[in-house]
Amino acid sequence: MTSDITLLRRELLRAAEREKGYEATIQENGRRTAKLEAAVAGLTADLATSRESSRDADRRLQEADEKFQKIEKRNQELEEEIRRLKGKPAGGASKPKACPPGDPCDVEDQELLRRLEKGRYRDGRRAAGLVQRLRGCIAILTAENKESSTRNAKLERFKRQRAGPHMPSSAEQFKGNTQSDDRKKPGRGPGHIGKSSTVKCNETERHRCNKCKSCGGRHLKHKGQSCSKETDVEVITKVKTINHITETHECMDCGVLNTPKTPIIPGTSFGVSILAILFNLWQKGTTIDGMTDHIREEYGLEYCGATVQNAMAALGKFLEPLQQEIIRAIQDTGWCNGDETGYRKNGEDIWAWLFCNNRFTLVLMDKGRSMQIPALLFPRGVRIICDGLGSYKIFPTMQRCWAHILRDAKDAAQDAASQELHRRLQQVFADAKAARKAEVCGIEAEFVVQELSARTRGLAKAYMDICPAFGKKLANAEPNLFTFLYYHDMPPTNNAAERAIKAIIRQRRCREQLKTAGGMMMFGVLMTCLLTWKQQEISIRDGILAQIQA
C-alpha cells in the first residue's frame, strides 16, 4: 500500500511539472499569436488602402463613362438636328438642345453648339474630333483602372500565399516607418556624472614667462592658465651581470648534502627580465634577428642570433612542466573547448591542437589529427565543446557548437523556404538559451531537452528536401546540441577556442613554418603559457618568476 502511495505521489509531481511546462508553452504561444495578429493587422491595413485606391479608380472610370454617354447622346441629337435642318431653310432651323446645368462640357463645346445653332454644318467634324478625344481619355482611365486591379490582385495573392504565421520580417513588402520620433539624442545623458581618466598625475610642472616676448619688459600680471597632461616613461638602460655562487653544505647530524636552488634558467645566461622581453617580442611575431637587434639597440647587449635562439629553446624546456600542470588542471575541471588548425614543419603538414576552458589553455603540436591525441592528453575523459570533428568522438560527453550549426544554416538559406527553416532553427537556440538562463534542471531539463530535440529533428527532416548535406549534418549533431542544459558550466558554442586559436594563426602568418621537432615542442609550450597567463591576467615576467620559485 505504501509503495502505491509513493508511486502515486511521484506521478502527481511529474504531472505538476508537466503542467508547468505546458503553461509556459501556452504563454509563449500567446505571445507569438499576438505578434502574428499585429502582422495580419498591418497587412489588412495595406490591403484596405489598395482597395480604396481601386475604388477611386473605378469611380473615375464611372464618371468618364457617364461623360462619354452624355457626349454620345449629344452627338446623336446634333446629328438628328443636322439631318432635320438639311430639309428646311436656314432661317427656320430650330435650336438644338442646350447643355444641362452642371454638364462637364468646356468653353470650346459651348462655342461649338452656338455655331451649330447658326447653321454652320461643317462644325460637325469638330464635334466628332471632340468625341474622339474623350474616347482617348476614357482609354487612359481604363488602363489606370486595370493597373490598380492588377495591383489589388497581387496584394490578395500575397496575403493568401505569403502572409503566414512564420513569414520573416525581411519578406514583408509593405512595412510602416520603424523609426521613432523620440530617438535618444547623442552625447551625455542628463544626470550622468561622467568618468575621469584612470591615469593620475604624480608630478606637476609650472611654466611661467620671465619677460614680455614683445618688448622684453619684466613687469607681468597673471591673467589665467591652462592645463595639459603628458604621459611618458623613464628610460633606464642599466644592465647588471650577477655571478651566482651555489654552495653545498653537508649536514653534520645525518650527513646529507644540501644545495640551495639557484634562481636561474638552465641552458641560458639571460635573466628573467631579458627572457620576458624576448618572449614578448616572440609572441608579436618578431624574428630572431629582430630580437637580437632590439636588445643591442636598447640595452647595448652584443649577442648573436644563435644565443637568442638557444635562450628561447631553454625557456621552452624550462616551462614544459607548467604545460603538464595545465593538462592536469583541465582534466580536473571536467570540461574544455577544443579546436585545431593546420601548420607547417619543414615543408610538411602538422596540426596545432588547442584545448581551453575559462582559466587554462593548452596548445600541442603533433603530426596527426586522429583521436589518439585527445585520448593521450585526457585519459579519464572530459566534457568537450567542439565543431564535430570525428576525433572528438572519443570524449564521453560532447556539446556541438551552435555557432557552427547556425552559420552553416545561414549559408544554406538560398530561398524563402530555407530562410524560414533558418529562422526556426535560430528560435530553437533562443529557447534553449532561455531555458539555460532559467537554470532548469532535473526532470524539467529533461522535458525541455526532449521538446527542443523533437523540433530539431523536424527541422533536419525538412532540410533533407531542400539541402540534404546540411540536413544530414543537423541530424547527426542533434543528440549533442543540448548537453549544455544539463551542465551549466559548459557554454553552448566553441567561440572561446575559436578566439584563442587566432593567436596560433597569427604566428603561422609571421613565421610560415617550424623547422624541427624541438621547435614544435617549444612552440606548443610557449603558446600554452602565453595564452594561460593572458587568461589569468599574469604578466610574462611574473609567470616566469612564479615558475622559478615553484
What is the tens place of the pLDDT at every residue in 344-371? 888 888 999 999 999 999 999 998 888 8
Q: pLDDT band at residue 98, thresholds of 50, 70 and 90?
A: very low
Q: Say how far residue 399 (Cα) sits from the centre of its chain.
A: 21
> Is position 248 within any domain?
no
Answer whether residue 155 shows pLDDT above 90. no
Share of the chain above pLDDT 90, in %: 27
Q: pLDDT band at residue 339, thresholds of 50, 70 and 90?
A: very high
Q: Contact 277/284 with Cβ under 8 angstroms?
A: no
**Pick from 11-15, 106-110, 210-214, 325-329: least confident:** 106-110
Alpha helix (H) residue ranges in 87-121: 107-117
Domain encompassing residue 471: 402-492
> Is position 428 within any domain?
yes
Mean pLDDT over the full length of the chain: 80
Write down the pLDDT at residue 401.
93
Answer whether residue 97 shows pLDDT above 60. no
**Pick from 15-29, 146-160, 325-339: least confident:** 146-160
Share of the chain above pLDDT 70, in %: 80
Range among 82-96, 223-237, 494-508 with highest mean pLDDT value: 494-508
What are the pLDDT digits (tens) for 261-313? 788 888 888 988 899 999 999 988 888 999 999 999 888 888 999 999 999 99
Write down the pLDDT at residue 338.
92
Write down the pLDDT at residue 211.
82
Answer whether residue 137 shows pLDDT above 50. yes
Range among 94-98, 158-162, 171-175, 447-451 with highest mean pLDDT value: 447-451
Cβ count within 10 A of residue 339: 23
How far is CA 88 from each of CA 94, 122, 132, 455, rounded to the nearest angstrom?
10, 17, 29, 94
Cell readout for 377 is 592528453
Q: What's the mean pLDDT in 458-477?
A: 90
Query: What DSSP letter does each residue of 340-357 carry, written as one string?
Result: EEEEEETTEEEEEEEEE-
What are the pLDDT digits (tens) for 174-188? 555 555 555 666 666
Q: pLDDT band at residue 322, thresholds of 50, 70 and 90?
A: very high
Write down the pLDDT at residue 101.
42
Model confidence pTM above 0.85: no
Tell me which of 329 and 227 has the higher pLDDT.
329
> Is position 66 within any domain?
no
β 397-400/249-250 pair status: unpaired
Tell me which of 306 and 25 has the higher pLDDT.
306
> Is position 425 within any domain?
yes
Q: Contact 112/126 with Cβ under 8 angstroms?
A: yes
Task: Work out the angle at residue 113's Cα, subtended by the Cα atoms of residues 109 and 116, and round it to the nearest 5 degrees.
Answer: 140
Which amino acid does the sequence have at 367? K
Write down the pLDDT at residue 88.
45
Q: What's the mean pLDDT in 168-179?
A: 52
Query: Which among 294, 198, 301 has a CA at the least distance from the CA of 241?
Result: 301
Cβ count within 10 A of residue 98: 10
**Pick from 92-106, 201-215, 269-283: least confident:** 92-106
Write down the pLDDT at residue 251.
81
Write down the pLDDT at residue 87.
52
Q: pLDDT band at residue 102, thresholds of 50, 70 and 90?
A: very low
Query: What DSSP letter does each residue of 423-477 carry, written as one string?
Result: HHHHHHHHHHHHHHHTT--HHHHHHHHHHHHHHHHHHHHHHHHH-HHHHHHHHHH
What are the pLDDT digits (tens) for 419-452? 899 999 999 999 999 988 888 888 888 898 999 9
Cβ count within 10 A of residue 248: 8
What total of structural domains would you count in the chain?
A: 1
Cβ count within 10 A of residue 415: 10
Write down the pLDDT at residue 90.
41
Answer whether residue 527 shows pLDDT above 90. yes
Q: pLDDT band at residue 159, thresholds of 50, 70 and 90?
A: low
> Is position 223 within any domain?
no
> Is position 455 within any domain?
yes
Write down the pLDDT at residue 311.
92
Write down the pLDDT at residue 278.
92
> Is position 538 within any domain?
no
> Is position 416 within any domain?
yes
Tell me which of 404 and 115 has the higher pLDDT.
404
